[in-house]
Amino acid sequence: MQPRYQLLSGHVPISRLVSRAYATAVPTPTPAPAVKNPLQRRKGGDLGSHLPKHVIPKDAFIPAYPYGDHALFKQANRGLYGHQMIQFGNNVSEKSETKTRRVWKPNVLSKSLYSVALKKKIKLRITSKVLKIVDREGGLDEYLLKDNEHRLKELGPLGWALRWTLLQQPEVIGRMRSEAVALGLPQSLIDSQWPTREMLASQKTTRQALVKVSDMIPEEYEGTAEDDAAELATPEDFELAAAETSDVFPLHISEKRVASAAKLEYIKAMRAAKRYLTRDLVDSEEAGIKIAFLRAEYREEASQRNKETHAKRLDEQFSAADLVAVREKHELPASLLDDDVKRIAYNQWRRAEIERAGSYEAWRDGVRAAKAAGFAAKPDAAGFEAVGHETKKAQYADEISEAENASTNQDLDAVKRKSLVEALKKAERAIRARSTEGAEADSSTGRRRTGGEDAYVKATIANVRARGAAGVLKGLEGGKKAEGDAWAALVNANDQADERRVGA
C-alpha cells in the first residue's frame, strides 16, 4: 500500500491520540516567541508605501528652495539625486585612439524609505550613492535634517519640501528646541524660531480675540461698509475684469476663479444697489443694480482712498510708544508687523468705545450724529445737501440712460462704449439672477446666501465658455484667411490653449 493511503484504513496513529489526550487533560499556555515576528504589523505607523505628493501637504506654503531647480537634468527635481546628473564623454580605443561618444547616467533606484517622524514609508527615486549616505547617516530623517550647506545643496526641491514637512512634526520641533537650548540660545529666540503647536494655537486664539470686534456688532450690520467687499478682492479678480472686456477670453483662467470672482462681484453689486435704493438715489431696485455695475470702478477707487485715509488716521492716533505698550500688554510676537499692531490697537479702542456706549447701535448713532453736526456747522450745509442729492440722482439717471444707448451711440469712445455695454450685460444677468427665490447657508462663511448668487455665477460661467469658443473660432477664421489651411489653424489654436493651461 502506498504511504498516502495508509491512514485510510481506519486506524489512527497513537501519537495523535496521546497528544490529543494530553492537550485535553493538562492545558499548557503557548510560550511567547523569543524573537518578534518580523511580518507582524507595527503599531503607531503606516507601513504602506506613499509617494511624496501624498506625504507633502498640498495646501501648505513651503518656502522657495534657495538654490533653485535643476535646469539641465530636470528629473533630479523629483527625487534625491545628490548632485548626480547625466554626463557626456568619449570612449577612446587603445589601439587606434578612436573616440566614440557615450553618456554616463546615474544609478537611479526606486526605494521605499521609512520616516520615523512621519511614521510612513515614502517611495522615492534615489541614486545608489545617496542611498549609501542615508544608511551612513542613520535613516531618511537624519539625512534630510542635517544642518549643513553642502547637504542643503544636494537635497534638491523634493528633498527641501520633505525637510520642511519633517520640521512641522512635534517630535522634530522638540528635538530642535532641545538642541538650541544646549547651544545656549535665548528662550525668546527659540520660541520665535521653533514654536510648538500649543504656542501657535494660543497666538492664533489671542490674535483672533484682539482683531475681531464682530462679536459686539449685530449680524444685520455686518458688511455694510463699502470697503468690506473690496478687502476680499485679489489680483486675479482684476485680471478677470480686464479679460471680460476683451474679444478672446483667456483660457488659462479656470472656471473656479471665474466663479469666485463672479460671486464677489455679485455680492458687492447687491450691497451697493441696496445702499443706492436706501439713500433714494434711484427709483427702483433694477436701476440700483445697473448703476452699481456702472460705477464699480469708482467705488473701488473710493474704497482705496478710504483705506489710505484710515491708515493715516491710525498713524496719527497711535504713536510708536503706544505700539510698544500694546505689544507688551498683549505679549505679541516680535515678528508681527506694525500695521497689524495698529489694527489691533484700533479694534481694542473701538471695543472700549462700544462698551462705554452700551451697545453697537448707540455707538454707531453717536458717530453719525457727530458727523452730521460737523457737516451742519458749515455754511449753507442744508441747501448744499438738498441740491447735491438731486444732482447726484439726476447724474445716475443720465449714466443709466447713456449705458442703455451706448451700443448705438457712435459718438462715444470705443473703449468707453465697450465697457458700458459689458457693465449693462452684467447688470441684466444680475437682475435675472435676483429674481431667483430661496436662500441657503454658505459653508465657507456661515452666512446665508441667496439663490440669485448661484444663478449669477452659473450665467457668468456660461458667458465665459461662450467667449472662449467664440475666440477659438475667431482665431480659426484668421488662420484660414492668412494661410488657407483650416486644419493647421485648429492645431495652432489647440497648442496655444495647452500652453496657456500649462503656464497657469
312 HSE (CA, 13 A, CB side): 6
Is there a single domain that holds both residue 172 and residue 268? Answer: no
Question: For residue 10, what is the DSSP state?
Answer: S
Mean pLDDT, rounded, for 365-391: 70
Please say if the pLDDT value at position 153 is more than 70.
yes
pLDDT at 98: 94
Residue 165 pLDDT level (bands cut at 50, 70, 90): very high
* CA-based nearest residue to 86, from 98, 99, 75: 75
**450 or 365, which is more confident?**
365
Do 364 and 414 belong to one domain?
A: yes
Q: What is the pLDDT of residue 436?
A: 72
Dist. CA 118–CA 54, nearest whole Å: 12
Instruction: Kindly state the average pLDDT of the residues 90-116.
Output: 94
In this prediction, residues 39-65 reach a mean pLDDT of 78
Q: Looking at the structure, tell me whether residues 170 and 96 fall in a common domain.
A: yes
Lowest-pLDDT range of 196-210, 294-308, 326-340: 196-210
Of 273-282, 449-458, 465-474, 488-497, minimum mean pLDDT range:
488-497
Who wins on pLDDT, 392 or 222? 392
Quick check: 503 and 252 in contact, CB under 8 A?
yes
- Across 156-170, 277-291, 333-347, 405-419, the highest mean pLDDT is recorded for 156-170
Percent residues over pLDDT 70 in the chain: 68
State yes or no: pLDDT of 59 exceeds 80.
no
- Whether the pLDDT of residue 145 is over 90: the answer is yes
Residue 502 domain-assigned (yes or no): no
Say if 268 falls within a structural domain.
yes
The verdict on 364 and 457 lying in the same domain is: yes
Number of domains, the chain: 2
Considering the domain boundaries, does residue 64 fall inside one?
yes
The arithmetic mean of pLDDT across residues 117-146, rounded, is 93
In a domain, 340, yes or no: no
2 located within any domain: no
Residues 59 and 162 grouped into a single domain:
yes
Range scoring the smallest mean pLDDT among 59-63, 176-180, 280-284, 382-386: 382-386
Count Cβ atoms below 10 Å from residue 233 Cβ, excluding itself.
Answer: 16
98 and 177, same domain (yes or no): yes
Contact predicate 356/362, CB 8 Å: no
Domain membership of residue 265 (yes or no) is yes
Region 154-160: mean pLDDT is: 93
Confidence of residue 263 (pLDDT cuts 50, 70, 90): confident
Q: Is there a domain that residue 204 lies in? A: no
pLDDT at 248: 40
Q: How confident is the model at residue 471 (pLDDT cuts 50, 70, 90)?
A: low
pLDDT of 244 higher than 70: no
Together in a domain, 162 and 236: no
Confidence of residue 495 (pLDDT cuts 50, 70, 90): low
Same-domain status, 304 and 163: no
In angstroms, rounded to a whole number, what is the distance separating the alpha carbons of residues 293 and 268? 9
At residue 387, the pLDDT reads: 60
The whole-number pLDDT of residue 114 equals 92
- Work out whether strand 120-127 and strand 108-115 pair parallel, antiparallel, or are unpaired: antiparallel
**Which residue range is the domain that position 242 belongs to?**
225-317+358-497
267 plus 403 within the same structural domain: yes
Asked, for residue 122, whether it belongs to a domain, the answer is yes
The pLDDT-based confidence of 423 (bands split at 50, 70, 90) is confident
- Rounded mean pLDDT, 66-75: 89
Residue ending a domain, choose from 147, 169, 193 = 193
pLDDT at res. 97: 92
Cα–Cα distance measured from residue 158 to residue 82, given in angstroms and rounded to the nearest whole number: 11
Same domain, 405 and 362: yes
- C-alpha–C-alpha distance, residues 370 and 347, integer Å: 20
Q: Are 197 and 245 in contact (CB under 8 A)?
A: no
pLDDT at 191 over 80: yes
Among 190-199, 254-263, 465-474, which stretch is predicted with the lowest mean pLDDT?
Answer: 465-474
281 and 374 inside one domain? yes
Same domain (yes/no): 391, 486: yes
**Res. 179: pLDDT tops 60:** yes
pLDDT at 412: 81
Average pLDDT over every residue of 398-405: 86
Question: Does residue 471 or residue 43 have the better pLDDT?
Answer: 43
The beta strands (E) that lie in 62-170 are given as 87-92, 99-104, 108-115, 120-127
Give me the pLDDT at residue 437, please: 54
Query: Is the pLDDT assigned to residue 68 strictly greater than 70?
Result: yes
Q: Which grid coordinates belong to 259?
A: 466663479
Instruction: Calculate the average pLDDT of the chain.
Output: 75
Query: Cα separation of 295 and 292, whole Å?
Result: 5
Q: For 321, what's the count of Cα atoms within 13 Å in the CB-facing half-sphere? A: 0
Question: What is the pLDDT, as a whole number, of residue 166?
Answer: 93
For residue 168, the domain's CATH number is 2.30.170.40
